[in-house]
């Protein structure tokens, strides 16, 4: 079956670095995405990894290891506005590029 | 560019009543998705359209939920009859194509409360 696991909560201080891990089990894996969602808001796309390695976009980086079915989102120079939920999402190819979201990690950034 | 538009923003109904949600995707986006997000959980895909054809509806409770995307643009999602467990935010998203590297752009959602 399909499953994604990520920590339910992470707390960090402003200016620090935090890593949110995601492990997945799925068939027909195509890639791993990350989305950010503030309370009451819409999910917004952060990054996508189809190949092994690190992708960097400003303060955010995302990593994928296909052999380990593992990825992570790295947030640097944390700001208060980064307090939100972060979802990893697997794109799988069985039945037409279906997207499966994890349960989300709630990040609390403290001053 | 204008984002994904959804309406209504909020809806409160009693169980066994019916309700419909509307979505207008970003212009030119071929793929449209409807998700259900229960409080504290990740979005769950209900149905995915490629233009006006259904790509995946494996998680759509077809005895009570229906969706259509006429002319490959706007879409409606209907629930009839509603159950208490349907209380959730219903999110519409669109992407240029269904390819893996295409980001999904989400609307603000419709928050549905069933009494």
**Cα(B108)–Cα(B89) distance, rounded to whole angstroms?**
9
Interface residues on A facing B, Cβ-Cβ cutoff 8 A: 30-31, 33, 41-45, 48, 50, 87, 89, 91, 93, 95-104
Residues from chain A contacting residue B106 (CB–CB below 8 Å): 42-44
CB contact under 8 A, B109 and A102: no
Q: Are B29 and B95 in contact (CB under 8 A)?
A: yes
pLDDT computed for residue B25 by the predictor: 96
Torsion of CA B86, B92, B98, B101, to 10 degrees: -110
Cis peptide bond prior to B81, omega within 30° of 0:
yes
Residues from chain A contacting residue B9 (CB–CB below 8 Å): none
Mean pLDDT, rounded, for A36-49: 95
Pairing mode, strands B44-50 and B53-56: antiparallel
Model confidence at A96: pLDDT above 70: no
Q: Is B77 helix (H, G, I), strand (E, B) or coil?
A: strand
Q: Which residue has the higher pLDDT, A1 or A28?
A: A28
pLDDT tens string A2-39: 789 999 999 999 999 999 999 999 888 889 999 999 99
pLDDT tens-digit profile, chain B (115 residues): 789 999 999 999 999 999 999 999 999 999 999 999 999 999 999 999 998 899 889 999 999 999 999 888 999 999 999 999 999 999 999 999 777 678 999 999 999 999 9
Give the chain B residue nearest A88 (alpha carbons): B42
* Nearest one of A39, A27, A24 to A89, comparing CA atoms: A24
Structure tokens of B27?
């212009």
Interface test with B, best of A26, A39, A42, A87 (most B CBs within 10 A): A42
């Amino acid at each position: 079956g399909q499953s994604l696991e990520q920590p339910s909560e992470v707390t960090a201080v402003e200016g620090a670095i935090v890593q949110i891990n995601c492990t997945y089990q799925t068939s027909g894996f195509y890639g791993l995405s990350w989305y950010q969602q503030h309370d009451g808001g819409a999910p917004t796309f952060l990054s996508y990894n189809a190949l092994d390695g690190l992708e960097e976009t400003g303060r955010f980086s995302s990593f994928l290891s296909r052999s380990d079915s593992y990825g992570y989102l790295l947030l640097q120079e944390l700001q208060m506005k980064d307090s939100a939920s972060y979802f990893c999402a697997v794109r799988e190819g069985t039945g037409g590029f279906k997207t499966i979201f994890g349960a989300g990690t709630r990040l609390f950034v403290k001053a | 560019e204008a984002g994904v538009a959804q309406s209504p923003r909020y809806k409160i109904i009693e169980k066994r009543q019916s309700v419909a949600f509307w979505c207008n995707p970003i212009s030119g986006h071929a793929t449209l998705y409807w998700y259900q997000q229960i409080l504290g959980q990740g979005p769950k895909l209900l149905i995915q359209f490629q233009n006006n054809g259904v790509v995946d509806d494996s998680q759509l409770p077809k005895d009570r939920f229906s969706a259509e995307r006429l002319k490959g643009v706007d879409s409606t999602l209907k629930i009839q009859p509603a159950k208490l467990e349907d209380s959730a935010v219903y999110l519409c998203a669109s992407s240029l194509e269904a390819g893996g590297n295409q980001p999904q752009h989400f609307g603000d959602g419709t928050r549905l409360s069933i009494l």
